[in-house]
Amino acid sequence: MDLLLKDKIAVITGASRGIGAAMADKFQAEGARVYRLSRTPARAEAGGASPNWIACDVADEASAEAGINAVLAAEGRVDILVNNAGITRDGLIMRMKTEDWDIVQDTNLRSAFFLSRAVARHMLKRREGCILNISSVVGIIGNGGQTNYSASKAGLIGFTKSLARELAPRGVRVNALAPGFIRTSMTDTIPEEFKQKLLDSIPLGRVGEAEDAANTALFLCSPLAAYLTGVVLQVDGGMGM
């Protein structure tokens, strides 16, 4: 099926590995011109072609804006922005350091504000565009030990809905994806017994793969989802229903 993404200019943050890399590969396979923003270089694709990687710390205002400006300078437009970069700094609240709270908000939530603001003006002018924010099922149902992370992910949901309302009159769509337990370097460090507990809570009975999230992102960013905005789509095997 043609997802109508050929020659679309897509910016994907946190595309050096995990879900972001899977999304970037899939968007590219559909013919989109993908720019990958992360602090460390994006891994080379299986095919060997070197991806468009832009060094960027999304938590830093100047760096985030420079990342978008670099794409605008090269292409003149951004059709799709995926705010995917994210980190965890888990801990029980009594032991959580203020810097662990702050860095998670800055990386996961403040970054989406910087990057969305930088593309919104251009998208509004062109009366088209799409922003996808990668939230999390824990932004909906919560998770002990992740107050900082789940607050940032719940914040992204409020941000998504407000921005969707703000930009909809000019045809710009804003949606969120809420993955459940996806196998990436972020979840690799979870202790085995806790992984089993998580697995037991997934009705579909398996851990998600980065491709599961990437496939849904492809749909949400394609014209096939032209009538969807302000949506939070859970890709979690039923974990958060």
Q: Catalytic positions, please?
A: 149
Chain centre distance of CA 156: 10
Which of 80, 25, 32 lies closest to 220 in space, CA to CA?
80
Rounded Cα–Cα distance for residues 134 and 156 (Å): 8
CB burial of 141-154 (b: ≥16 within 10 Å; e: otherwise) equals beeebbbbbbbbbb
Candidates 24-32, 53-61, 116-124, 214-222: pick the segment binding ligand NDP (CB under 6 A): 53-61
Q: Which residues are annotated as a binding site for NADP(+)?
A: 14-17, 84, 149-153, 182
Rounded Cα–Cα distance for residues 12 and 27 (Å): 10
The DSSP code for 206 is: S
φ, ψ dihedrals at 226, nearest 5°: -60, -25
Candidates 14-22, 90-98, 195-203, 220-228: pick the segment binding ligand NDP (CB under 6 A): 14-22
Q: Which of 85, 123, 151, 164 binds ligand NDP (CB under 6 A)?
A: 85
φ, ψ dihedrals at 182, nearest 5°: -110, 135
Tokens representing 214 are 């990437």
How many residues sit in the footprint of ligand NDP (CB under 6 A)?
29
187 forms part of the interface with ligand NDP (CB under 6 A): yes
Which of positions 18-47 make contact with ligand NDP (CB under 6 A)?
18-20, 38-40
Which of positions 116-145 make contact with ligand NDP (CB under 6 A)?
134, 136
CB closer to ligand NDP out of 27 and 181: 181
Interface residues with ligand NDP (CB under 6 A)?
A: 13-20, 38-40, 56-59, 84-87, 107, 134, 136, 179, 181-182, 184-187
